[in-house]
Amino acid sequence: MLYYLFDYINKLYAPPGFDIFRFLTFRSALAAITGLFMAFYLGPKIIRILQKNQIGEARKDDAPKTHLSKAGTPTMGGLIIILSAVVPVLLWGELKSIYIILILAGTVWLSIVGFVDDYLKVVKKYPKGLIGRYKLLGQFVIGLVVGAVIYFSPEFSGFNTLTTVPFLKNINLDLSFLYIPVVIFIVTATSNAVNLTDGLDGLAIGVIAIVMIALALLSYVSGNAIFADYLNIIYLPGSGELTVFVAALVGASLGFLWYNSYPAQVFMGDTGSLALGGAFGILAVLIKKELFIPILGGVFFMETITVIIQKTYFKFTKKKYGQGRRVFKMAPIHHHFEMVGWAEPKIVVRFYIIAIILAIVTLVSFKIR
């Protein structure tokens, strides 16, 4: 909104300095700063509201015993992140951009799905919250919408079903008629992966911030004809506007981390984790970097794989031997490290380090193809 206001003033009166609001980098910086300070401002207020209404984390018997003390900590703090990310985009983004429309719609929709799940668990006291198939339906719907828009919209003509292949030069994979199902799978998978990772104070939000910084750079160069040509990647006219959204989300994430770091004053809940995971997947889809998700989101990928391995092996051994066995002491893997004696802050920081390394590998891969 402010972007359009300042643009109008600049065109009408051309006051000195107002031309700067046209620049994507400047607006992205403003979005990040706005998101950060909104999170700082909203954080204490929303935490007080959650505490007043006794909206706290339920006791988890399937987590390490050290987590018993976390019961009652305010949850649904994802509201802080979503509000602090969406408002700056509305202020500084180009709202007519199809890229901005899709990423905002996807993030807000999945946040609503997560909010309903949290509300049913915490307020209505339904043990499992939103029934699994309904949660999957919500993820399926937004994946279908994003995939269909990209597949059929003329704005994506010429590259709608293409995706960049990691480490290989001049090779783009055409997913053809499989494109929409692949998008649905990606959005569902990334959304659930971040949800699984959100088990330690500051873990999911910190890793998301690192991943988003890399995505901000990729969004910017993908929408810049000169940089896209230099890096030999698909040029996506208008995709640079996603940088404003990603910058706002980074600012909001860092602001939320202030309250979510150990010991956490608030948890994001599914309200935040489903939305952030979905945003990750949708961003990768929009900038045609779907195949980079296992690398850039390696921490989320690792968490998900350990859960799959644990469940599969347990069922297999129970069927074969009559008693289920486990590969890890507990899954997801961050709980395994807790069970072997690692302190929670140490696990989180080490996962941050892994996320940073993977982000660097992702960015460097464009130059070593």
Q: Check pLDDT > 70 for residue 26.
A: yes
Q: What is the dihedral of CA 151, 152, 158, 163, to 10 degrees?
A: -10
Greater confidence (9 vs 273) lies with: 273
Q: What is the pLDDT of residues 240-278, one digit of tens each?
A: 999 999 999 999 999 999 999 999 999 999 999 999 999
Q: Which of 50-64, 127-141, 239-253, 325-339 has the lowest mean pLDDT?
A: 50-64
Averaged pLDDT score across all residues of the chain: 92
Q: What is the pLDDT of residues 87-143, one digit of tens each?
A: 999 999 999 999 999 999 999 999 999 999 999 998 888 878 888 899 999 999 999
Question: What's the CA gap between 214 and 230, in Å, rounded?
Answer: 18
Asked if residues 187 and 139 have their Cβ atoms less than 8 Å apart, the reply is: yes
Greater confidence (213 vs 322) lies with: 213
Per-residue pLDDT at 72: 80
Q: Check pLDDT > 70 for residue 10.
A: no
Q: What is the dihedral of CA 39, 43, 44, 47, to 10 degrees?
A: 170
Per-residue pLDDT at 194: 97
User: Phi, psi (5° rounding) for residue 340?
Assistant: -90, 0
**How many CA within 13 A on the CB side of residue 13?**
8
Q: What is the pLDDT of residues 345-354, one digit of tens each?
A: 999 999 999 9
Helix axes 242-260, 98-118, angle to 10 degrees: 30
Greater confidence (69 vs 216) lies with: 216
Q: What is the pLDDT of residues 169-205, one digit of tens each?
A: 888 999 999 999 999 999 999 999 999 999 999 999 9
Q: What is the pLDDT of residues 227-246, one digit of tens each?
A: 999 888 999 999 999 999 99
Per-residue pLDDT at 59: 65
- Answer whether the bond into residue 263 is a cis peptide, omega within 30°: yes
Q: H-type helices in 198-339, by residue range?
A: 203-222, 225-231, 242-260, 269-286, 293-296, 298-321, 333-339
- Residue corresponding to tokens 């359009």: 4
Asked if residues 27 and 298 have their Cβ atoms less than 8 Å apart, the reply is: no
Q: Check pLDDT > 80 for residue 6.
A: no
Q: What is the pLDDT of residues 285-299, one digit of tens each?
A: 999 999 999 999 999
Closest CA to 251 of 1, 30, 100: 30
Handedness of CA 215, 216, 222, 223 (dihedral sign): positive
C-alpha distance from residue 156 to each of 6, 99, 159 (Å): 29, 10, 6
Question: What's the CA gap between 139 and 96, in Å, rounded?
Answer: 24
Question: How does residue 367 score in pLDDT terms, banded at 50, 70 and 90?
Answer: confident
Per-residue pLDDT at 123: 86
C-alpha distance from residue 143 to each of 44, 139, 189, 226, 314 (Å): 33, 6, 10, 31, 31
